[in-house]
Amino acid sequence: MTAEHRRQTAKPGKTGKPKKTGKPRKTGKPEKYERGTRSYTMSHIRGKDTSIERMVRSFLFAKGLRFRKNDKRYPGHPDVVLPKYRTIIFVNGCFWHMHEGCPKATRVPKSNVEFWTAKLLRNHERDARQRAELEADGWKVIVVWECELGKKVRDERLERLYREIVDDSVK
């Protein structure tokens, strides 16, 4: 087995943590992970059914609301669709969807900056386009941000979400 093959097929160590290398990159700074380990880690980032999505769905279900999840019939495959209330909910990660004013959204990875900047801007533009499409079709679109579901503010945000859904006067 060649060293190149080992790097490409690397998996986390026995503890489940990625292997650290300490080998210098072109920038002179040490790599945090082996190349294959980084790829393996990134491949396991979920696009749907994340912990924050499950938290929101669990809350809504406990409140007696029934919904569809990740419905592919709508632009953006919304995380939660409540047809009875004509409401769509997106549960967004602050980094991936560039939440304005959030510290998590302002940190762009230090490696491959051009790629990440372009990707995150595309995500942001796509979100705005999909939201406009849904609103034009008569849907109320609510975005719940990852930072709004921190332990200190979670209950307040979820209660406000419930009121936004069932009460038309709440904005």
Domain ranges of the chain: 3-43, 51-166
Express each pLDDT in 59-106 by its tens digit: 999 999 999 999 999 999 999 999 999 999 999 988 888 888 888 777
**SS3 at position 81:** strand
Q: How many CA atoms lie within 13 A of 140 on its CB side?
A: 17
| pLDDT, mean of residues 147-158 | 93
Inter-residue contact 58 to 152 (CB < 8 Å): no
Express each pLDDT in 19-67 by its tens digit: 555 555 555 555 566 667 766 776 666 667 888 999 999 999 999 999 9
pTM: 0.72
What kind of fold does domain 51-166 have according to CATH?
Answer: Endonuclease; Chain A (3.40.960)
